[in-house]
Structure 1
Amino acid sequence: METKLELKRMERVRRSCGFINGIDVEAEGSRGGLCLAWKVGIEVTLRSYSTWHIDVLIKEDGIQGEWRFTGFYGSPYVRDQSHVWNLLRRLSQDREYPWLVAGDFNEIMYSFEKKGGLPRDQRRMDTFRDN
């Protein structure tokens, strides 16, 4: 999730919610910041991270095999979107493990998903669907 918090504060919040284990990526001012937290009994191996993602391998107690999780935060700014979608494409190249990507992509796939405000640019939605 996007935290908008500096590292020490995010760690305090995470721990107060009962998550001893976690990976925190610091916010830039009041923007961004990511946190991935998990409970005891789950082994998490960090593969990569950036302002926009945390990519890990997960091994759960009692379950054979690993799977991959990417927590993703898509920039709400048009100027960053090509970088963000290129990152997602690069991450998708590794098909060694079952993969779940979740988070806030800050984009919609179809205009009917949006309520109110200005209409979404069709090219932005097309690009999101293509990725």
Structure 2
Amino acid sequence: MVKALFWNSQGALDPDFNRYLSLFIRQHDPDVVVLMEPRISGRKADRFIRRHRFLHSYRVEASGFSGGIWLFWNDLVSMDVFAVSSQFIHALCTDRNSGVKSLVTCVYASPNRLCRNGMWDMLHALAPSSDLPWVIDGDFNAILDSRDRFGGSSRRTGVCRKFGEFMQQENMTDMGFQGPRFT
């Protein structure tokens, strides 16, 4: 079984973040790590990934100090990246021990609703036509239920209709999360 960590880092240069990530990697030994919104790119990103001792990686660079998606993995899995946008990385993940395959989509959706709208159609086009399992995780910058929202205007629910339609069309299940709400 492949162990994966998906984390919206909101800035990978923070020393506290690096310390917590290193601790988590030591304790849980994930095969795949996905960081969203690292806010760094280029040589700094290369050094960060090398420091955490993952041999393979693929990334969508941050734009200035926003966005970005990093996918890195160890030798126990293979990742064949075959679709990329500024908002996601889509890959076929194979567990080298068992041969089990699954699709993995790592998302950092634009906080801008208009930029994000086209992403749902692109993801729908990537949906598997077979029984291949599909894990899609990340920061969608959208919510499915008004209870997932805190603060802001009381006139707006913040619920993203397109997100809900995507989840329903693709028969997706929200697996929940672990950690504090609204972070």
The TM-score by the shorter chain falls in which range? 0.7 to 0.9
Write the distance in 2 (CA, Å) between the matches of 1:81 and 1:124: 14
Displacement, 1:109? 0.5
Higher relative contact order (CA 8 A, sep 6+): 1
Number of aligned positions between the proteins: 130
Q: Which runs of 5+ in 1 are unaligned?
A: none
What is the aligned partner in structure 2 of residue 67 from structure 1?
102
Write the distance in 1 (CA, Å) between the matches of 2:50 and 2:59: 12
Say which SS state the counterpart of residue 80 (structure 1) adopts.
helix
What is the aligned partner in structure 1 of residue 129 from structure 2?
95
CA contact (8 A) 2:142 2:158 kept: no
User: Which residues in structure 2 correspond to 1:37-56 (within 5 Å)?
Assistant: 37-56=72-91
User: Residue 43 of structure 1 aligns to which amino acid in structure 2?
Assistant: S
What is the aligned partner in structure 2 of residue 84 from structure 1?
119
CA contact (8 A) 2:149 2:158 kept: no
TM-score, length-scaled by structure 2: 0.65
Write the distance in 2 (CA, Å) between the matches of 1:58 and 1:16: 23
Is 2:59 the partner of 1:24?
Answer: yes
Displacement, 1:100? 0.5
Q: Which runs of 5+ in 2 are unaligned?
A: 1-35, 167-183
Q: 1:120 to 1:54 in 2, by over 3 A?
A: farther
Displacement, 1:117? 2.1
Q: 1:113 to 1:123 in 2, by over 3 A?
A: closer
Write the distance in 2 (CA, Å) between the matches of 1:86 and 1:27: 22
- What do you get for the CA RMSD once the two structures are aligned? 1.8
